[in-house]
Amino acid sequence: MKNSIIIVLLLLSGSMFAQMYNPVKWSTSVEKVSDKEYILKAKAVIQSGWHLYGQYIEEGGPSRTAFTFKNTSKKFELVGKTTEEKGHEVVDKIFDMKIKYFEDKALFTQKIKLASEGISSIDGEVEFMVCDDSNCLPPTTEELVFKIPAEKKTTAAAETTAVKQDSISTDEVTVSKAVDKAEKTKKAVTAATTKKNEKRGLLSIFIIAFLSGFAALLTPCVFPMIPMTVSYFTKQSKTKAAGIRNAMIYGFSIVIIYVLLGSIVTAVFGADSLNALSTNVWFNLIFFILLVVFAISFLGAFEIMLPNALANKVDSQADRGGIIGIFFMALALAIVSFSCTGPIVGTLLVEAASKGGIAPIVGMLGFSIAIALPFSLFAAFPGWLNALPKSGGWLNTVKVVLGFLELALAFKFLSNADLVLQLHWLERETFLAIWIAVFGMLAFYLFGKITLPHDSPLNHISVGRLGFGLIVLSFTIYLIPGLWGAPLKIISGFPPPMQYSESPNGLGVSGNSELKITGSLPEGAEHGPQNIITFHDYDKGMEYAKKQGKPVLLDFTGYACVNCRKMEELVWSDPKVLGVLNNDVVLISLYVDDKKELPEREQYVSETTGKKIKTIGNKWSDLQIKTYKANAQPFYVIVDHNSNSLTETSAYNPDITEYYNWLQSGIKNFKK
């Protein structure tokens, strides 16, 4: 479900080497409202694969887009705030907040009222940040000029002005589309890999749905129907071939019914709105309640049934015979078995909804094929029926196990709502405690220590049930260290992130334990990610590296860089990588979005970009651009004490082995 494979493809396609990016082109226009009022419009054309952040993001998140309008002479006044288009809103797991961003294009508008006549233009600037799947660029400032249209004196003059404005707009669009050959290649790779990512996402939904369909087969509502239905077709058909044909039609009808359900869900809510709903607080709360109800039903408290009148009406139609009759037989199966399949289908639709697009249709296709396949195969080979296990209490056991899984999954939706609202009611420790309790009870159930309604008397447990119980118990024990700060990478993405907890660093000593115990730090250093000794000052870090006789790892990073945090949490936390960062190199982390202003005497105009370097972040960004011809983060360089590169540079790379080997190659070259 994760996008690690697609990221590796991007890395292999060229993002591992230094490259300059300029993915956003800005253009301006002005719309006249009245003699004194105008609307200033700033349009951003965004290169495919990149996204631009919105204006209204909470503190602690990515750098938001910000507009300023130069008005020292009080020539005009701003009317209201700068507005922006709808864009996309997601809950970012790294920053634990709702974040808005734009793709392809974005339009920002600001209404103004002129204080005097004769104003020909208004100057402004926009500060913005953009990211793609593997890079985040440092915050960039762009100068904007808004031309106030002159008063229309004649029709011809007005037409000339309109032609000029259209020409300007056309030129701007042309410039925005005119990228060099390298950029076009990257754009093609990005588009191709995006399609591959979508295909993988749909394939994952299909596989999960297919396996869920087999799980539904093993419930007491569906499993007994297999021999009954197959026997009906073999007895009612005049020939064996006719029986097989009718069973195939029956299976195909099951597929049509469930795919139709997925199509209805997509059509009603819309392909795009399903994805937006997945980050909605009320959506998550409603489905938390719904899944809890499903779970309680599976555990035996009550049965979820469709109206009997509906079932009877559909069953009566099944007697019509022919293809229509077979179709209604399949519909009757779907209705009668709803008490078992309904919760599974509902959960699948919720999960598919979070992916958007045609995922609900694909999910129902996988589920229905798994349901329909046994009916068709056993009709073709009725002798196989003898190999089927007899119905019994084990079917209810399957149903109860599914109930426990539904209950565990329900708290993921409650966690999503809590993360969006930042209530801190369901922090990481609480979430894990609930999962430990749920899976612990499931283990006790499988071992026969507790029984539930509808369970048959259990004199002994089978080897299969014992084996599955041991797996569940092992998983439960695996979860327990998470209460004390263990990363629990197997379930990464399900519990709230590490920083969303009562003890973000864990209750015990974790990470670089020696540093936590001694507490001693070199001058100018601090504990960075994973408690690694980190310098933020280039000169002090270099001086310390010379004393220690170690190479330097330059880490061009950002406070608002999502992929930087992913590298620190998923790659730097690996014991062998962490050992190298602790013992074999000196880490200098240079934050390109550090807003602290440089002393006036240290401010300068960049030789590379021509922009004034006013902040510490500007300084480190300019260093990266000037020295390494790159402006994306994260960006890693291993250098000696004379700032000479010891190996090729590295960017975002979630492959732990590759990143470790890259570190070792730089260290090896340093020792030569």
175 pLDDT higher than 50: no
* C-alpha neighbours within 13 Å on the C-beta side of residue 158: 5
Give the residue with greater pLDDT, 441 vs 363. Answer: 441
Residue 629 · residue 20 · CB < 8 Å: yes
Q: What is the C-alpha to C-alpha distance for residues 221 and 479, in angstroms, rounded to an integer?
A: 33
Q: Is the pLDDT of residue 150 over 90?
A: no
Continuous segment of H or E residues that includes residue 527: strand 525-527
In tens, the pLDDT along 350-374 reads 666 555 567 777 888 888 888 888 8
Give the pLDDT of residue 273: 45
> Residues in the chain, how many?
672
Write the CATH number of the domain with boundaries 513-671. 3.40.30.10
Q: Return the pLDDT at 180.
A: 44
* Pairing, β 121-128 against β 130-131: unpaired
Q: Kindly report the average pLDDT of the chain as a whole number.
A: 75
Q: What percent of the chain has pLDDT over 70?
A: 68
- Which residue would you say has higher pLDDT here, 69 or 342? 69
Asked if residue 317 lies in contact with residue 328, where contact means CB atoms within 8 angstroms, the answer is yes
Q: Where are the domains of the chain?
A: 21-178, 195-390, 513-671
Residues forming a β-bridge with 30? 40
Q: Which CATH class is domain 21-178?
A: mainly beta
The yes-or-no verdict on residue 3 having pLDDT over 90 is no
Tell me how far apart the alpha carbons of residues 405 and 414 are, in angstroms, rounded to a whole number.
15
pLDDT band at 476 (very low <50, low <70, confident <90, very high): very high
402 and 344 Cβ atoms separated by less than 8 Å: yes
Q: Which of 134-138, 179-183, 382-386, 454-458 has the highest mean pLDDT?
A: 454-458
* Rounded Cα–Cα distance for residues 529 and 189 (Å): 32
Question: Does residue 504 register a pLDDT over 80?
Answer: no
Residue 580 in this model has a pLDDT that exceeds 90? yes
State the pLDDT at residue 347: 65
Residue among 649, 648, 636, 646 nearest 669 (CA): 646
Query: So what's the pLDDT on residue 274?
Result: 44
Does 194 or 82 have the greater pLDDT score?
82
Classify residue 224 as exposed, middle or buried by CB count within 10 Å of its CB (0-12, 13-18, 19+): middle
Report how far Cα 167 is from the mean position of its chain's Cα atoms.
40
Question: pLDDT tens digits, residue range 220-264?
Answer: 666 666 766 666 666 666 676 777 777 788 788 888 887 887 777
